[in-house]
């Protein structure tokens, strides 16, 4: 199963990059769910005080597989989007649209509409919309705004890197390494996995939106009001957060080398060579060489999953980075 986007000549001229603080905020909220893997964001989550943050109404509108209301995440205008501007667009949503999209989203989660939070969301839009705006603002203030300079810096570095690739070799060069789940061939961009869908772009072009907190997915959006859009994990995510124990990390770096230490520390979730290369902004061959050394030393092991090998820390690797051994 795959999503495919076919480009015509006009589409080649209408590819652009954008950044969305609102998208990052909603994706950060999703990571608070115990059903979600936090991947490279464990150290970020450890620094956030979420004890007084009740975001259940927002979480209920973000099913793992299903519809999230479009009005909650307006299409980003460009790489310099501001959270306040995006939030103002949410607050200005037509009430009938709010009602229709909330009902559609709740219908994708069995029992959601009958829960206390669901019944609250089905109340008068004139009351529900300000409540959602307030919750999103609070989530931004607690989860994202304190680290936004770091997050924005990584997103901007990704846009600069990908734009340079586009300038050097066109879409062939850009899509060759944009993300391991994306393939480009004969004017067709394919996102592997997920639902089956095909779209002829017909001059609409494509928006490319790097994300920090949507770290494990490539999302394709083709429904209005969005321009056809690909949301992908930003390059270099594994370098974003400081380690839990700088002293231990520094010592591990002296023992193994900084790159091997970073790869080992970042393997909180199993990952393939290509994913790790994208996450740490390294060449795939470099990652493969370092993983071979870590594997031979007993710090990591590889398990075949379909057509790829995913690496994970062994108990020795967990001990080296100060993590309890997995059971």
Query: What is the pLDDT, as a whole number, of residue 100?
Result: 95
In the chain, the percentage of residues whose pLDDT exceeds 90 is 45
Average confidence (pLDDT) over 288-307: 86
Domain at 242-321: CATH code: 1.10.10.10
Burial class for 191, CB neighbours closer than 10 Å (0-12, 13-18, 19+): buried
Confidence of residue 58 (pLDDT cuts 50, 70, 90): very high
Q: How confident is the model at residue 105 (pLDDT cuts 50, 70, 90)?
A: very high
Give the start-to-end residue ranges of the domains of the chain. 1-236, 242-321
Q: Are 133 and 92 in contact (CB under 8 A)?
A: no
Query: Residue 244: pLDDT band by 50, 70, 90 thresholds?
Result: low
Residue 301 backbone class (left: φ over 0; alpha: ψ -120 to 50; beta: rest) = beta
Give the global pTM: 0.82
pLDDT at 222 over 80: yes
Q: Mean pLDDT lowest for which of 94-103, 185-194, 288-297, 303-312?
A: 303-312
Give the pLDDT band (50/70/90) at residue 16.
very high
């Amino acid at each position: 199963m795959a999503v495919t986007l076919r480009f015509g000549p006009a589409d080649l001229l209408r590819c652009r990059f954008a950044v969305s603080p609102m998208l990052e905020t909603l994706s950060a909220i999703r990571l608070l769910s115990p059903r979600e893997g936090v991947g490279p964001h464990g150290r970020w989550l450890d620094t956030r005080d979420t004890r007084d943050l009740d975001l259940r109404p927002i979480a209920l509108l973000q099913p793992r597989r299903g519809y999230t209301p479009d009005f909650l995440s307006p299409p980003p205008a460009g790489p310099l989007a501001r959270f306040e501007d995006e939030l103002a667009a949410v607050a200005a949503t037509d009430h009938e649209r709010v009602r229709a999209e909330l009902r559609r989203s709740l219908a994708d989660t069995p029992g959601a509409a009958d829960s206390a939070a669901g019944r609250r969301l089905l109340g008068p839009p004139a009351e529900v919309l300000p409540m959602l705006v307030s919750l999103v603002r609070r989530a931004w203030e607690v989860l994202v705004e304190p680290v936004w300079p770091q997050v924005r810096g990584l997103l901007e570095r990704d846009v600069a890197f990908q734009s340079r690739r586009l300038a050097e070799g066109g879409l062939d060069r850009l899509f060759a390494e944009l993300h391991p789940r994306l393939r480009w061939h004969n004017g067709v961009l394919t996102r592997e996995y997920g639902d089956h869908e095909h779209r002829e772009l017909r001059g609409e072009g494509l928006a490319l939106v790097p994300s920090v907190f949507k770290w494990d997915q490539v999302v394709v959006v083709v429904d209005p009001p969005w321009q056809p859009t690909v949301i992908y994990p930003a390059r270099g995510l594994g370098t974003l957060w400081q380690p839990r124990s700088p002293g231990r990390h520094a010592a591990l770096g002296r023992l193994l080398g900084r790159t091997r230490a970073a790869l080992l520390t970042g393997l909180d979730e199993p990952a393939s060579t290509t994913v790790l290369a994208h996450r740490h902004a390294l060449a795939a061959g470099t990652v493969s060489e370092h993983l071979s050394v870590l594997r031979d030393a007993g710090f990591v092991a590889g398990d075949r999953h379909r057509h790829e090998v995913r690496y994970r820390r062994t108990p020795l690797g967990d001990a080296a980075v100060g993590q309890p051994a997995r059971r």
